[in-house]
Amino acid sequence: MKISVGVLAGGKSSRMGRNKAFLSYNESSFIEVIAKECEDFSKIIISANKIEAFKDLGFKVVKDEKEGFGSLEGIYQTLKEIDTEYILIIATDMPYIKKIFLQKFILERKYLELFPL
C-alpha cells in the first residue's frame, strides 16, 4: 500500500517569531526529524509559505494559492500533489513522532477507511 505524507509547515510564526520547522531537536531541525521518521512512506510533500527555505531538503514543496485559510489550504495544496491512494498529514511541530508509531497507526487499517481519497 502506497501512502504519502504531507507536512504542514506554512504557519505565520506569529507566536514563535520564527519558523518552527527549523527549531532544533536532537541536533537536527524539526523538519529533518519528521522527514527521517517518515522516510519509509512513498512520498513526502511539505506545505510551506516560503518554498525557498525548504528547497535543500529534497522534497516536493507546495505553497498556498490563497491566503487566510491556514492549515486547510496547506492540506488542499498537498492533496493536489499526491499520486497515492492515502495520505497522512503531520504538523511540522511534532518532532516526537516516531516511525514505529506511524507504522502501527498505518497497520491499524480501520483508520485508513475513514477518509479514503
The pLDDT, as a whole number, for residue 117 is 47
CATH number attached to the domain at 3-111: 3.90.550.10
3-class secondary structure per residue, 44-97: EEEEECCHHHHHHHCCEEECCCCCCCCHHHHHHHHHHHCCCCEEEEEECCCCCC
Q: What is the pTM of this model?
A: 0.85
Would you write out the chain's pLDDT as a tens digit for each of its 117 residues?
Answer: 789 999 999 876 667 667 788 888 999 999 999 999 999 999 999 999 888 889 899 999 999 888 888 899 999 999 999 999 889 999 999 989 999 988 888 877 655 555 454
Domain locations in the chain as residue ranges: 3-111
